[in-house]
Amino acid sequence: MYIFIIRRFLQLIPVIIGVTLVAFLIIQLIPGDAAQVMAGEAASEEQLEQMRENLGLNEPLYVQYGTFLADLVRLDLGQSVRTDQPVMELVAPRFWITLELAFWGLVVAVVVGLLGGILAATKQNSYRDLGTMMFAVIGLSMPNFWLGLMLMYLFSIELGWLPTSGWGDWQQIFLPAITMGTAGAAIIARMTRSAMLEVLGEDYVRTARAKGVKERLVIYKHALRNALIPVVTVIGLQFGYFLSGAVLTESVFSINGLGRLVVDAISQRDFPVVQGTVIVLALTFVLTNFIVDILYRVLNKRIEIN
């Protein structure tokens, strides 16, 4: 197990290098002169030169990348070209908000998805199964922002139960979390259903029944533990999508998260901020996958031998 974790960790290194390289190249790949693009049409020659100097654009590429990495290790992501604030200071608080939002979205997705999948699988081809799967299709095909707006209209404006926007109070969690989690719930429900159906046909489930284990335990203990193995991977991926997909939900509910930050930064051509956000998101994604891999391994004792 430890060997596996170490090996898996070593495999992370090239991925992380790749991620930083891509993020680094963002600035290099801007068509034309990056400084010109950032500084705007009206910038004078001195201003441009200053901008190049600040961004280190006059150094050879490998030196720039080296400096970039060295800064990164010190958690220095550079400075915003608009506000001169360190990017780290801009990103960190918003990152926590987005992380929190994604977490609650995931809670909704997992709870609803697992329950729906199990309910559908244990009564295959019944109305219950059909109904659950229909909801899954609707949930999957409904655009995120539209669902958010509809929820807001119903619960905030018509019923007045929940606040329309903002982040911080516990009441403000519900609507964005549901908005975010619905599509994930649908995917997890479908995945759980097919995994459960497969597992319920396994010999060891029959063995459990033959032992006299109650049907409820057969399903929630013997079958679910095995069905979870493929589902966990999907859940991990969902979390990654939630982080990057938070933009829309954050816009709808006026939440000041990472999504908002990056949208604003792009429109203001504040590339260091874009770069910083990309790095933070990508590293979180990579880390999530790492954790999922280990979890998968813990759940599935069989891989250890192979």
Partner 1 sequence: MTTPLFETKNLKKYFPVKGGVLNRKMTDVKAVDDVSFAIHSGETLSIVGESGCGKSTTGRAILRLEEPTDGEIYFDGEDFRKLSKSQLRKRRKDIQIIFQDPYASLNPRQKVKQILDEAMAIQGVVPKKDRPARIRELMEVVGLRPQQAERYPHEFSGGQRQRIGIARALSVDPKLIVCDEAVSALDVSTQAQVLNLLKDLQRKFDLTFLFISHDLGVVRHISDRVVVMYLGKIVEIADKKSLFDSPHHPYTRALLSAIPVPDPERKTERIVLEGDVPSPMNPPSGCRFHTRCPFATEICKQEEPELRTAGDMVDGHQAACHHMEEIVEQYGKTPSVQE
Partner 2 sequence: MAATDKTPILKVEGLQTSFFTHDGEVKAVDGVDFEVGANETLGIVGESGSGKSITSLSIMQLVESPGKIKGGSINLTGEDLLKKSKSQFAKYRGNRVSMIFQEPMTSLNPVFTVGHQVSEALRIHKKLGKKDARQEAIRMLKLVGIPAPEDRAKRYPHELSGGMRQRVMIAIALSCDPELLIADEPTTALDVTIQAQILELIKNLQESSGMAVLIITHDLGVIAETADKVAVMYAGEVVEQADVKTLFKRPLHPYTKGLMNAIPRHDVDMDELEVIKGTVPSSAEMPSGCRFMKRCPYASEICETHPSLATPTHNYGVEDDSGAVRCWIYTEEWDTATKKQEVQ
Per CB under 8 A, the segment of 3-11, 154-162, 214-222, 240-248 that binds partner 1 is 3-11
Kindly state the smallest distance separating residue 302's Cβ from partner 1, in Å: 16
Q: How far is the first Cα of the chain from the last one, in angstroms, to the nearest whole number?
A: 12
Q: Which of partner 2, partner 1, none lies near 226, with the C-beta cut-off 5 to 8 A by kind? A: partner 2
Q: Which amino acid is at 198?
A: E
Beta bridge partners of residue 86, listed in sequence order: 79
302 contacts partner 2 (rule: CB under 8 A): yes
Interactions with partner 1, residue window 5-44 (CB under 8 A) = 6-7, 10
Kindly state the smallest distance separating residue 10's Cβ from partner 1, in Å: 7
Kindly state the smallest distance separating residue 1's Cβ from partner 2, in Å: 13
Distance CA(53)–CA(59), nearest Å, equals: 9
Q: Which is nearer to partner 2, 6 or 206 (CB)?
A: 206
Q: Which is nearer to partner 1, 3 or 159 (CB)?
A: 3
> What are the phi and psi torsion angles at 65 (to 5°)?
-65, -40
301 contacts partner 1 (rule: CB under 8 A): no
Interactions with partner 2, residue window 280-299 (CB under 8 A) = 299
**Interface with partner 1: number of residues (CB under 8 A):** 4
- On whether the CB atoms of residues 177 and 170 are closer than 8 A, the answer is no
Q: Which of partner 1, partner 2, none lies near 10, with the C-beta cut-off 5 to 8 A by kind? A: partner 1
Please list, in sequence order, all residues whose beta carbon lies within 8 angstroms of the beta carbon of residue 273, skipping any fewer than 6 positions away.
Answer: 80, 82, 87, 90, 91, 261, 262, 265
3 contacts partner 1 (rule: CB under 8 A): yes
204 contacts partner 2 (rule: CB under 8 A): yes
Kindly state the smallest distance separating residue 116's Cβ from partner 1, in Å: 34
Q: Which is nearer to partner 1, 6 or 266 (CB)?
A: 6
Q: Which is nearer to partner 1, 10 or 157 (CB)?
A: 10
122 contacts partner 2 (rule: CB under 8 A): no
216 contacts partner 2 (rule: CB under 8 A): no
Instruction: State the residues that interact with partner 1 by CB under 8 A.
Output: 3, 6-7, 10
Instruction: State the residues that interact with partner 2 by CB under 8 A.
Output: 202-204, 206-215, 222, 225-226, 299-302, 305
